[in-house]
A and B are shown apart, each in its own frame.
Chain A
Amino acid sequence: MEPSPDVVVVGAGVVGAAVALAAARGGLRVVVLDRGPVAGGTTGAGEGNLLVSDKEPGPELDLALLSLRLWADVADHVASVTGAGFEFEPKGGLVVAADAAALPALHDLAGRQRRSGVDATEIGAEELVAHEPHLARDLAGGVLYPQDSQVQPMLAAARMLQAARRLGARIRTGEEVMALLRSGGHVVGVRTTAGDVAAGAVVNAAGTWSGEIAAMAGLELPILPRRGVILVTQPLPPLIRHKVYAAEYVADVASDDTGLESSAVVEGTRAGTVLVGASRERVGFRREMPLPVVRRLAAQAVRLFPVLADVSLLRSYAGFRPYCPDHLPVVGPDPRAPGLLHACGHEGAGVGLAAATGHLLAQVLAGGEPDLDLRPFRPERFAEVRV
Chain B
Amino acid sequence: MSAFEFDGSPVPFAAGQTVGAALWAHGIRAWRTTRFGGRPRGLFCGIGVCFDCLVEIDGRPDRRACLEPAAEGLVVRTQVGAGRADQQI
Residues of A bordering B, CB below 8 Å: 133-134, 234-241, 272, 307, 310-312, 314
B6 within 8 A of A: no
Q: Give complex CA distance A134, B86 in Å.
A: 12
Pick from B7-15, B21-29, B77-85 the stretch touching chain A. B77-85
Which of A237, A241, A272 counts the most chain B CB atoms within 10 A? A237
Q: Give complex CA distance A134, B89 in Å.
A: 8
B1 to chain A minimum Cβ distance, whole angstroms, is 31
Q: Are B89 and A133 in contact (CB under 8 A)?
A: yes
A311 to chain B minimum Cβ distance, whole angstroms, is 7
**Which residues of chain A have C-beta atoms less than 8 A from B35's C-beta?**
235, 237, 272
**Which residues of chain B have C-beta atoms less than 8 A from A311's C-beta?**
62
What 8 A-B pairs come out closest when comparing CB atoms?
A237-B88, A237-B82, A133-B89, A236-B82, A237-B84, A234-B51, A235-B82, A238-B89
**Which residues of chain A have C-beta atoms less than 8 A from B89's C-beta?**
133-134, 238-241
Q: Give complex CA distance A234, B88 in Å.
A: 15
A310-B87 contact given A237-B81, A272-B82, CB 8 Å threshold: no
Q: Are A239 and B62 in contact (CB under 8 A)?
A: no
Q: Give complex CA distance A11, B84 in Å.
A: 42
Contact size range, B:
10 to 19
Q: Are B51 and A236 in contact (CB under 8 A)?
A: no
Q: Give complex CA distance A257, B43 in Å.
A: 46
B39 within 8 A of A: no
Q: Count A-B pairs with CB separation below 8 Å.
A: 36
Q: Are B85 and A237 in contact (CB under 8 A)?
A: yes
Q: Give complex CA distance A133, B54 in Å.
A: 25
Query: CB-nearest residue of chain A relative to B54?
Result: A234
Q: Are A312 and B62 in contact (CB under 8 A)?
A: yes
Query: CB-nearest residue of chain B relative to A241?
Result: B89
A13 to chain B minimum Cβ distance, whole angstroms, is 29
B79 to chain A minimum Cβ distance, whole angstroms, is 12
Q: Give complex CA distance A272, B82 in Å.
A: 9
**Which residues of chain A have C-beta atoms less than 8 A from B85's C-beta?**
237
**Which residues of chain B have C-beta atoms less than 8 A from A312's C-beta?**
51, 62, 64
**A-B pairs with beta carbons under 8 Å apart, 14 shown:** A234-B62, A235-B35, A237-B35, A237-B83, A237-B85, A237-B87, A238-B88, A238-B89, A239-B87, A240-B89, A241-B89, A310-B62, A312-B51, A312-B64
Q: Give complex CA distance A312, B83 in Å.
A: 13
**Which residues of chain A have C-beta atoms less than 8 A from B62's C-beta?**
234, 310-312
**Which residues of chain B have C-beta atoms less than 8 A from A134's C-beta?**
87, 89
B20 to chain A minimum Cβ distance, whole angstroms, is 16
Q: Give complex CA distance A374, B88 in Å.
A: 45
A89 to chain B minimum Cβ distance, whole angstroms, is 15
B34 to chain A minimum Cβ distance, whole angstroms, is 10
**Which residues of chain B have C-beta atoms less than 8 A from A272's C-beta?**
35, 82
Query: CB-nearest residue of chain A relative to B86?
Result: A237
**Which residues of chain A have C-beta atoms less than 8 A from B88's C-beta?**
237-239
A256 to chain B minimum Cβ distance, whole angstroms, is 38
Q: Give complex CA distance A310, B56 in Å.
A: 13
Which of A236, A307, A314 counts the most chain B CB atoms within 10 A? A236
